Amino acid sequence: MSTYIISLAILIGINAILAVTLNFILGYAGIFSLAHAIFFGIGAYTAAIAAMKFGADFTVATAAGMVISGVISLALALPALRVRGEYFVAASLGLQMLAVTVFSEWKSVTGGIGGLIGIPPVRFLGFDVSDPVLFLGLTIACLALIMIVIRALVRSSFGRSLKAIRDDETAASALGKNVALLKTLAVMVSSSFAAVAGSLFAFYLSFINVESFVLEVSVQIIAMVIIGGTGTLLGPVIGAVIVLLLPALLTYLPYLPPTEIGSIQQMIYGLAMVLLMIFRPSGLWGYGQSQDRKGDAP
C-alpha cells in the first residue's frame, strides 16, 4: 500500500470523525452549527501543546483536548438555550469567526499564522505509533469507538429525546423534556468528540496552523454530512469518503490545470448539494423522505 493511499485514508478517517460528530447535533438534534471547525482546532492545539510542552502521550493529550473543547462548547451551547433555527446559525458563525481571530492572534499559545511546528510523534500506551500504517489503525479505532458511543447514545432515551426536539421542539418541551439541558449536552458531546479528530490531525501532520480550522472547513464538514445523509450513522462517513476522494481523483484528469482543481471541486460540491436537496433530501445513505422521521435509528 503506497504512502499516498495510507495518508489519504488517514485524512478520510479524521474527517469522518468530524462528520459523524457534527451529525450527532445536526442530524439527531436539528442543531445546525457553522462552528464545528473550532472544536477540531481546540483539540489539535491542546494536544499539540500538551505533547510539546508537557510530554503527554496521545491518550492524555486527547483527553485534555476533549475536556477543554467540551467546556468551551458552552459558548455555543448557551445561545442554543435561547434561540433556534437561523438565529443559532448566526450565533455559531459569530463564534467561528471569533475563534479564528483568537487562533491567529494568540501567538504565544497557538503560534499565530505560523502555527505550531515539531509536534512529537504519537505514543499510545507506551508504544510508538509514528508508522503510517499503525497510525491508520489508530485513526480507524478512534472512529469506530466514537461511532459505537454515538450509536448507543442515539438508541438511548437521551437520543430519542434529541429526535423529539429535532422534530418539534415546542411539543418536546410540552411533554416535559428539558430542552435546554438536552441541547447543551448534545453540543458538548459533539464538540468533545470533534477534539479527537483534532488530536489525530495534529499528531499526524506534526504541524498545525489556523488555516486548517477556518469557516471553509466547517462548511466542508457540513457538506460531508448532507451528501452522505443526516440522521444516519454511516452517511457522514460515506460523505467524508466522497469529499476527500474527489480532489484526489481530479488530479488524474488529463488537461486539467492543478490550479483549477480547487475551483472545480467547489463547483461539484455545490452542484451535488443542490441536486441532493432536489432529488434526495435525505442524502446518499439517508432514508426516504417518508421514512426520515420514523426509521432513522442507525
- The per-residue pLDDT for range 126-172, each reduced to its tens digit, is 788 888 999 999 999 999 999 999 999 999 999 999 999 888 888 88
Q: Across residues 279-286, what is the average pLDDT?
A: 75
So what's the pLDDT on residue 218?
94
When mean pLDDT is compared across 187-191, 221-225, 253-257, the lowest value belongs to 253-257
Which residue matches cell numbers 432513522?
A: 296
So what's the pLDDT on residue 248?
72
Identify whether 155 is part of a domain: yes
Identify whether 45 is part of a domain: yes
Identify whether 181 is part of a domain: yes
Higher pLDDT pick, 7 / 284: 7
Identify whether 122 is part of a domain: yes
So what's the pLDDT on residue 1?
53
Identify whether 290 is part of a domain: no
Domain region containing 96: 3-211
Identify whether 250 is part of a domain: no
- How many other CB atoms are found less than 10 A from the CB of residue 270? 11
Total domains in the chain come to 1
Q: Across residues 222-229, what is the average pLDDT?
A: 91
pLDDT tens digits along 35-66:
999 999 999 999 999 999 999 999 999 999 99
Higher pLDDT pick, 201 / 253: 201
So what's the pLDDT on residue 295?
43
Q: Across residues 186-207, what is the average pLDDT?
A: 96
Confidence (pTM): 0.89
Identify whether 105 is part of a domain: yes
Q: Is the pLDDT of residue 265 over 80?
A: no
What is d(CA 253, CA 176) in angstroms, rounded to the nearest whole number? 56
Q: Is the pLDDT of residue 2 over 90?
A: no
Identify whether 168 is part of a domain: yes
So what's the pLDDT on residue 214?
94
